[in-house]
Chain A
Amino acid sequence: MSAPAPAPGAAPAPGAEHDGPWSARALLGLVVAESRKALSTSAWWALLLPAALLSLLVTLLTAEVAGLAFTPSLAQALALGSFAAKFAVVFGLVCATAEDRHRTVTTSYLTSPGRPQLLVAKVVVCAAAGAGYAVVCGLLGLLGMVLGGGRLNGPELGGVFEVSAVAMLVFALWAVLGVGLGTLLRNQLAAIVGVLVYLLLVEQIISGLASLSSLGRIEDYLPGGAGTASLTGLAESGPFGGSFGGLVVPWWLALLIFAGYTTVAVLAGAAAAQRRDIT
């Protein structure tokens, strides 16, 4: 062991006093820290891998089997919005809840000028990661179409790119939704299971019951449905598009509704984190 010799210079670096708690430099540092956190564990690729493979598989199958029923852009919207997006929200959940699970939250709070700043950094990093997921999954989706022998002429390819581009925004919102909910719920396993059960089961039951009642079709107003509709609504419907189209709201409104849910989740997470005692 080396001899104890604390480095001298207790005074803060010159100019450091000018950095406020919300300075760009402070936030940038936290963003770098959060990206190092995210990249130093296996979660990012362990979730991206199945998401990308699933995208490839879905578009491959639709091109192969149901090529006539689905336009390429709808196949892409389906692959990304209904399947791969779930991995983006889980990534956000993992990022936010890992701090509590591994008890790094104490050090993270101690090294941050404040708890809101830390959450902002997480939101930025997870949004970027979500967009990255969309790019990779979009490319794999395209590959699946080609492998499945899909006809991709000019206009159809344009539609696929359109869906893929909006998917970057939608995936970013999914990941941020995960950050907000993860910050709110804290328990990693409970958060992941809870969110997936809601998206895959509870929301389907709710919209199913609603469609039987006087409420009618409300799925585009629910969080999961809004996220999905913002992509499927953009896609050109094929002959059987009616089952996906016929949306209650246009894709951009669905996107706004989804962004609203995401904002509420982040604000709720921020409020909960602010008053939480770290014991």
Chain B
Amino acid sequence: MNRRSVNDGSGRIVVRNLAKRFGPVEAVRDLSFTVEPGQITGFLGPNGAGKTTTLRAALGLLTPTDGEVTVNGARYDQLAHPARVVGAVLDSNGFHRSRTARTHLRIYTAAIGVPDRGADEVLALVGLTDVANRKIGGFSLGMKQRLALATALLGDPQVLILDEPGSGLDPEGVAWLRSFMRSFAASGRTVLVSSHQLAEIAQTVDQVVIISQGTRVFEGRLEQLRGDNADRVYVRCSDPAKLATTLARQGFTDIQSAQDDRLTITGASATTVGDVALAAGVAIYGMAEERTDLEQRFLALTASQYLPRTPSGEPPVPPGALDQTFPPDAVPPSAILPGAVPPSAIPPDAIPPGAVPPSAPSPSTESPSAPSPSTAWPKQEGSR
């Protein structure tokens, strides 16, 4: 094979119909997604969803049962200089305890074929210069994480793969890692970072791939994860027409009028609506805010994984129901609207049936983890 044609230099990771079976366990099945350069892609899923298996298959550490993963158009074992194409942090304990950080790195500068000064450069980059000559056995988990990252960067790779890099890092380290990943991606390179917590990477990633039980359940931009369930505000006010017109002038055009004095504004926060109403001189009698929480969506998508068995053998509770911020018994938005109008009087189109778009695989439609009001003010005076 002409090796020159193998590495296309695109920086693209392509997972194609990947399947991996460990004995009776199907860790990954028919998984396909693409990771593009120049951005940070989050790889999300609960523990045991197959993230690490997928990443290790991408790095040639596992032989797939079926399908393949290519980086720059080539399987990892087809790359002549793999460490100069891909840098990976998989394990923060892959060190010999009695070696110093510098010795450890100088083993791999030689293996990769880069000058030895590269070891000191990456140590400076991750802030470990002061402990370069200390034995790794005395390192904290956070220091080992940084040393693992330094090792991954030795070959000045085009693609960076990080498996749960946040664990063991202190808040400062996490913030540093975030800005590092951003600048790495901003230079046109590829970052694929896995996590089992959406919150950990939600601020950082441009694109997310969510897997559950070894298959993909979502691939797209983070905003798309919300689907058509943007934040909504339900408001009862003195002059709905005037408020709607004013809001429309501010750019909030997705407004539905429900009854005589009610509005449903999509894509705005309660604060914004309140401010606009105040400026317009419209009195607000009641307001409820409904936020589609990404975490809820993530939990709903991955709900069927690892259902805990109760001792009685009862059907398990979806993980979404365990979320503490949004108790399952939270009242629907309509119920907290004050006033004499019973909730049933509100036409159905004013109340969303659920936050999940009909197209998505939605275990959440019946689950108590459906969007709940996060904040509600019984009454807010719109004008003085």
Chain A binder among B78-86, B320-328, B336-344: B78-86
CA distance A5 to B86 in the complex (A): 18
Cβ-defined contact, A17 with B80, below 8 A: yes
B127 within 8 A of A: yes
Partner of B99, one of A40, A103, A109, A277: A40
CB distance from B82 to the nearest CB of A (A): 6
CA distance A60 to B344 in the complex (A): 104
With A2-B124, A17-B3, A278-B62 as contacts: A111 and B111 at CB distance below 8 Å? yes
B98 within 8 A of A: yes
Please encode chain B, from 1 to 25, with 1 for each CB lying within 8 Å of some chain A CB and 0 for all others.
0011001010100000000001000
CB distance from A102 to the nearest CB of B (A): 4
Nearest opposing residue in chain B for A11, CB measure: B9
A1-58: which have CB < 8 Å to B? Answer: 1-13, 16-17, 19-21, 25-26, 29-30, 32-33, 36-37, 40-42
CB distance from A166 to the nearest CB of B (A): 32
CA distance A6 to B155 in the complex (A): 12
B56 within 8 A of A: yes
Nearest opposing residue in chain A for B136, CB measure: A102
Partner of B155, one of A108, A111, A277: A111
B145-187: which have CB < 8 Å to A? Answer: 151, 153-158, 172-173, 176, 179-180, 182-184, 187
CB distance from A112 to the nearest CB of B (A): 6
Cβ-defined contact, B106 with A278, below 8 A: no
In the bound complex, residues from chain A placing their C-beta under 8 Å from that of B156 are 7, 9-10
CB distance from B144 to the nearest CB of A (A): 11
- Bin the interface of chain A by size: 35 or more
With A1-B176, A19-B81, A107-B94 as contacts: A275 and B63 at CB distance below 8 Å? yes
CB distance from A38 to the nearest CB of B (A): 10
Cβ-defined contact, B11 with A112, below 8 A: no
CA distance A21 to B173 in the complex (A): 36
Cβ-defined contact, A41 with B99, below 8 A: yes
With A20-B3, A29-B111, A110-B82 as contacts: A104 and B95 at CB distance below 8 Å? yes
Please encode chain B, from 116 to 132, with 1 for each CB lying within 8 Å of some chain A CB and 0 for all others.
00000100111100000
CA distance A17 to B81 in the complex (A): 8
Cβ-defined contact, B107 with A36, below 8 A: yes
In the bound complex, residues from chain B placing their C-beta under 8 Å from that of A110 are 59, 61, 82-83, 86, 88
In the bound complex, residues from chain A placing their C-beta under 8 Å from that of B112 are 29, 111
In the bound complex, residues from chain B placing their C-beta under 8 Å from that of A279 are 22, 52-53, 56, 61-62
B103 within 8 A of A: yes
Say whether chain A's binding surface is mostly helix, strand, loop, or mixed: loop
B96 within 8 A of A: yes
Cβ-defined contact, A103 with B93, below 8 A: yes
Cβ-defined contact, A8 with B187, below 8 A: yes
Nearest opposing residue in chain A for B88, CB measure: A110
B91 within 8 A of A: yes
Cβ-defined contact, A107 with B125, below 8 A: no
B331 within 8 A of A: no
CB distance from B114 to the nearest CB of A (A): 9
Partner of A40, one of B60, B93, B107, B176: B107
Interface of B toward A, CB cutoff 8 Å: 3-4, 7, 9, 11, 22, 52-53, 56, 59-63, 77, 79-86, 88, 90-91, 93-99, 103, 106-108, 110-113, 121, 124-127, 151, 153-158, 172-173, 176, 179-180, 182-184, 187-189
**Contacts A4-B184, A36-B107, A107-B94 given; 17 further ones with Cβ under 8 A?**
A2-B124, A4-B125, A4-B180, A4-B182, A7-B125, A9-B156, A10-B157, A17-B80, A36-B106, A40-B98, A41-B96, A105-B94, A110-B88, A111-B82, A113-B80, A113-B82, A277-B22
By Cβ-Cβ distance, the 4 closest A-B pairs, closest first, are: A4-B180, A1-B127, A33-B111, A32-B110
